[in-house]
Structure 1
Amino acid sequence: MKQTELIKQLTDDELKKQLILSQLFLIVLSLILSFFLFSTLVDWVQYFRWLPKEILQFGVFPGIAIVFIDLILMYIFPKRYYDDGGINERIFKNLSIKEIFLITLLIAISEELLFRGVIQTTFGYLFASILFALVHLRYLKKPVLLISVLVISFLIGYIFMLTENLFVTITTHFIVDFLLGIIIRMQKRGAMNE
């Protein structure tokens, strides 16, 4: 059975639970892999540096720019080009702002720990960026979404190359997902009020 067919059989609550479980799995996987792929835990922990100016410059500003560009592209391209099968809409449409904050923070942490913190540091920028895009299976048949996730993946990977700071990439990833989650929620609420 295809992924989209399986997802359609889930209720919105089940879908949210599956998302949370998958992200928790990525965190556990990242921690396990870090023990095998790094000589010491210190080698891995060095990628976590709280540098507010760097986080603002390379995390916050690029995240906002990505969302701004994404909004322009959503305006230019027909909605069907950005349709991921309604999965993001199902996830975010009925969540509170607090729930969107927590879920997108979990996603940003889990995916950046694995893709930048473990895979990119071990196997390189190109491999991690392509793998990140491929993991988003539902985008593979949607060229605009696929190109978008590829560009974002390469950009975040490049930011990690520049800063070697996971707090920066987690921030970028979080801002993109959080703001787009809020936009999806607002669009759905706006459509319901019309």
Structure 2
Amino acid sequence: MSQPENKNRMEEFTSRQLLLNVYVSQGLFLVIAIGIAFFFKVPFPWSNDFPLPISYIAFAILTGVLFPLISIELKKKLPDHYFDDGGINEKIFGPLSYTHIFVLTALIAFAEEWLFRGVIQNLAGLVLTSVIFSTLHVRYIKKPFLFALVTLLSFWLGVLYEISHTIWIPFLAHFLIDFISGCWIAGQFKKSMTNVDDGV
């Protein structure tokens, strides 16, 4: 499918429809995680002991802050088509309040980290889990740069899980990445709307 066709197809979906799709997919991830964990007797994430080691928390925060900042800088410097996902992220996060972004990204991070790191990685290993996680981001498959970023991120989150033995460390990193990125997208969207209203 060509880029214009992809964009035209995206225009058929409203922001609300895409947001609903995100909530439904994350709900399915939670159900699947519970089912697989129960069937294969994989420990539930809240069975891990707290508090978490400060060094692991530092790794998570560093990952969660650096990854989106580097992505934002690359987006400013590289051609637009490198980061073109068909406008999905802009449609989902653009109109949202920062509070809503916080709730949404917390749900996404928890559901995905529990399923992929906490359950699948325990059963299938780091590499296969990273491949599955990346492949499920279907809209990135024909975008080599975005797909490479997602694969790299997935592998690193898996490494964080391997060294910390808890989903809460990759969860924190994943949440910060999505939250910071989502807030940046929303900020850009609100800025563009202000410029339109001002006739800029």
For the criterion TM > 0.5, the same-fold answer is: yes
* Counterpart for residue 166 of structure 2: 165
1:37 to 2:45 alignment: no
Change in Cα spacing, 1:129 to 1:48, as seen in structure 2 (3 Å) is farther
Deviation at 1:65, TM superposition (A): 1.4
RMSD after superposition:
2.2
**Cα distance 1:82–1:29, how it changes in 2: closer, same or farther (>3 A)?**
same
- Partner of 1:75 in structure 2? 76
One-letter identity of the residue aligned with 1:156? L
**Deviation digits for residues 76-103 of structure 1, max 9, x if unmatched?**
2112210110000000010000100011
Q: Is 1:47–1:117's contact at 8 Å kept on the other side of the alignment?
A: no
Return the alpha-carbon distance in structure 2 between the equivalents of residues 44 and 192 of structure 1.
Answer: 41
Match of 2:27 in 1: 24
- Identical aligned residues as a percent: 33
Q: Which has the larger radius of gyration?
A: 2
TM-score (norm 1): 0.90
Question: Which deviates more from structure 2 when the two are superposed, residues 42-51 or residues 87-96?
Answer: 42-51
2:85 corresponds to which residue? 84
- Matched residues, number: 191
The separation in 1 between residues aligned to 2:143 and 2:66, in whole angstroms, is 22
| 1:89 and 1:184 in contact (8 A); partners too | yes
The residue number in structure 1 matching 2:141 is: 140
Unaligned runs of 5+ in 2: 196-200
Q: Indicate the SS of the match to 2:169.
A: helix
Retained in 2: the 8 A contact 1:129–1:153? yes
Q: Distance in 2 between matches of 1:152 and 1:18?
A: 23
SS of equivalent to 1:115: helix
The answer to whether the 8 A contact 2:56-2:164 is kept is: no
Alignment of 1:1-194 (within 5 A): 8-38=11-41, 42=43, 45-47=46-48, 49-51=50-52, 53-194=54-195
Give 5+ residue unaligned stretches, structure 1. Answer: none
